[in-house]
Chains A and B, each alone.
Chain A
Amino acid sequence: DAGVTQSPTHLIKTRGQHVTLRCSPISGHKSVSWYQQVLGQGPQFIFQYYEKEERGRGNFPDRFSARQFPNYSSELNVNALLLGDSALYLCASSLGGVGETQYFGPGTRLLVL
């Protein structure tokens, strides 16, 4: 079975630009979460979606937004990019229940110059 897939794998942007990252969950999984991992740190929670509704949001500015589509895939959008947005962006999918295991994709590495 296919795991979580993310695109693109790498991305280079300049300050002030906008970026869209995409994620396809494991078949049958209805929940998608996004995490930001800065070099040398653990992942930090950005958003969780379940059945196309936002279930939770981490401590990130409004420049970050996301949505989930009817097929459960998801997009993460970041506006007005800053140098500090350079990170590995990880998508995880799960069945959506409390305590369910989240399975991660390979990530999108974003570099902001």
Chain B
Amino acid sequence: GNSVTQMEGPVTLSEEAFLTINCTYTATGYPSLFWYVQYPGEGLQLLLKATKADDKGSNKGFEATYRKETTSFHLEKGSVQVSDSAVYFCALSGSSGNTPLVFGKGTRLSVIA
């Protein structure tokens, strides 16, 4: 079945540091890939998405590229801010039929000033 593996946290960075959160997936066909962010006490917010190989999703300075050859969708940001502190979830949605999201376990990011 479909699955997502993302790097375990917590990740602690200083403000303006470079961020990478690794995500790899297992799926048949061509799934859509997503990054969601969850701030303390809140639901999930879509951060970015990509629907086909080599697509780059971007939003609020975050980027991730859909790499079919390495089955990866790593999240990056060049300069993190304290307000980026949250839990980040990588997820995929299947390419046919029933399309529930399959999530990774989440990576907690803490950014310190």
Contacts and interface: CB of A to CB of B under 8 A. Distances in A.
A102 B43 CA distance: 12
B32 interface: yes
Contacts, number: 65
Q: Which of under 10, 10 to 19, 20 to 34, or 35 or more describes the interface residues of A?
A: 20 to 34
B58 to A, nearest CB: 15
Contact of A56 (B36, B43, B45, B100): B100
Contact of B42 (A33, A58, A101, A106): A106
B67 interface: no
Contacts of A44: 103
Contacts of A104: 36, 43-46
Interface of A: 33, 35, 40-45, 48, 55-56, 58, 88, 90, 92, 98-107
